[in-house]
Structure 1
Amino acid sequence: MIVSAQNGQEDYLRKVLGNLEKIESATYFVIEQTWEPGDTTALVNRRTFCIEYDHPGDTTIGARFVNFDGIDTTKAVFGYDGTIHAIAYHDIKKLEIDDFTTKPLPFRPLSSPFFNYTRNIIKYALETPDNITVEVEDDVVDWHIRIVINENEQVEFFGKACYLPANPYCWDPTSIYELWVSKANDLPYKVRREMSTNISMKECLDAQLNSASKEKFDLLSFFPKDYKIAKYGERKNVQHASKLLSKNAPDWTLKDAAGKSVSLSDIKSKALLIQLTGIGCGPCRASIPFLNKLRTEFSIDDLGLVAIETWKREGHALQNYINRYGIKYMLLGGTDEISKEYQTGGSVPVFFLLDENRIVRNVFDGYGEKVTDKEILNAINLLSLSSE
């Protein structure tokens, strides 16, 4: 059954919002999942434990929170106190602090805690003049709320609704939010967000409301005292991919979407173009037509072409990406070691052009349509390869 505005939809949303506004603190587990559009298996499946406090004094997010490891709930992973955002890198004993001055934006791009997030979505649906549709469906034990936002910009909820700047890699700005509300307490327990670029879902479990300690919230006290503190955006002492120029390309053996192992030494072409890429990266996706064109214009004997996915997506995600974007070249699943050995610092896309002896002749960092296309094509032609 669809509940329309005439028979109580708006009144029910106001009731749920009222319940959310009564939450001053909450502790709960969260199951977080993300997908690429068209994928049936989650790329990310993560369980965390959260302590959340309402914080009206913060006019950006409107909450303080700390997220912990879902198994070791004493190990803080990241948090926010209304002034700074802290992220722990436990493997290297480092705490990165972002005070939002390095890269000023009109909003703070943080993953808001569950009850703050759902409260702001419902408040927006009730108050916005934007072009939206809202449906409330009876799912027997739950109410299912679906909000479709038809604006020229994607709408994210970093606290209040935020309109994202125009993105050349977003072909459809429609934003869809779905919430599942328990009839037992008229509070949301699951939320799903869908954009043309990716899909995410959070499910709240074992919530304890208004029972957390109201002592002064000291974000840094949740993290180990001996961790080195670094400011977000500080120049890091890292190697750069350009240092591989005129050197042998690091060897690798990786798996394709079907699980078949492929080694650098298996590729016998006169030249080889390697792209380090990431599923979900806009510029990487924008480069696909150019790479497909190269695959068509040059024979496999003359030019090998391999993309290595370095964001550690599984085989099913690789196959979905191949099918969705019509990829005609080899796509392999990468590892952290690939990014280290190719000295990219995790950045994507980065292109490496190798000669017949697998010496790195050119490195292209980033992708700009036509400009990068021309640079790569000119470099290929300098290796005396002829297109078909």
Structure 2
Amino acid sequence: MSSPYDLILRGGACVLPWGTETADVGVREGRIAAIGDLRTAHAENEVDCRGLHVLPGLIDAHVHLRDPGDPAVENLSDGTRAAVLGGLTAVFDMPNTAPSVTDRERLDWKRDYLQGRAFCDVGLYVGASKKNIAELASLELQPNVCAIKVFAGSSTGDLLVEDDASLEAVMRSGRRRICYHSEDEYRLQARKPLFKSGMPHRNHMEWRDVECAFLGTRRLMALARKTGRPAHILHVSTAEELDYLKDFRDVATVEVLMNHLTQTDEAYDRLGGYAVMNPPIRDKRHLEAAWAAVRDGTVDVVGSDHAPHSRAAKERPWPETAAGLTGVQTIVPMMLDHVSAGRLSLNRLVDLMGAGPARVYGVLGKGRLAAG
């Protein structure tokens, strides 16, 4: 009699939605078929997991794989290989590539390009622009699309939707949750002349200051309430935003980054351009607020915002320094280090990088250990 399972993981501490239990996991044709006591069952492949934890596949919902773009910086195969080596089983790739993913032609090309190149599952963002607003409702329903991404403040690439009229139009085109880079572009541009080339890298957090992020989020929440369109605020980096967003749980979900949970502004003095990212690393007050928000449930997702650049680009004088840090190969080990230090539980980590992304992005069949 043939076995009902291709693989059995035996006796591991399984991190389940309701807690951690010692159990066997039976897998058939790449899917979980059963969780429980499978001592009478056998499979061609069996793994002794006693003394180990068994987690669902973890997701990094915020990565920039830079493909298409400059293959010397990164390509899709290398980026997804690094993700798997780091403990991830899925990544969601941002649209600000070269060229950007903003229309059906580029989306179809990117989906085909994944075949035979990706080492893990890949979700694709579609970038909103002022030129494709009418198409967004259709684009968000295409296969592999995880969300529409809006840059309300400028960052790497040329995607930008900064004015309230255009932002409202984006919100009225479609129904799925929209992901936002929330910084106020008008404040960014108004403050830019205050800073000169060659100034210390820590000026990055002064230019892209707390009010820049907070003002952007206040504007987005007003429009989200007005339109009723769900919002996911990416890489929330300030104590002010985290406190404010608690009153918008009806329309907003929240992401914080590994770096904003790990580094403070001393990193600028130690790492120079290698600490520059958008929104910036800030002082300890904001890091402590981020951890408080993780503990009280305000935060739904933790991501890396993996964004590689060449060494030459990172070593340019500020503010010409390229903004972005790598993370797909380090986010899981770093977050497990935080678990070991007692900053969060393993079950909470699994929620933030498994069930949380699946819930926020409406992804089926991922994020938790369950049959099917």
Q: What is the TM-score of this pair, normalised by structure 2?
A: 0.21
Q: Select the structure with the greater relative contact order (CA < 8 A; seq sep ≥ 6).
A: 2
Bigger Rg, structure 1 or 2: 1
- Name the structure where strand makes up a greater proportion of residues: 1
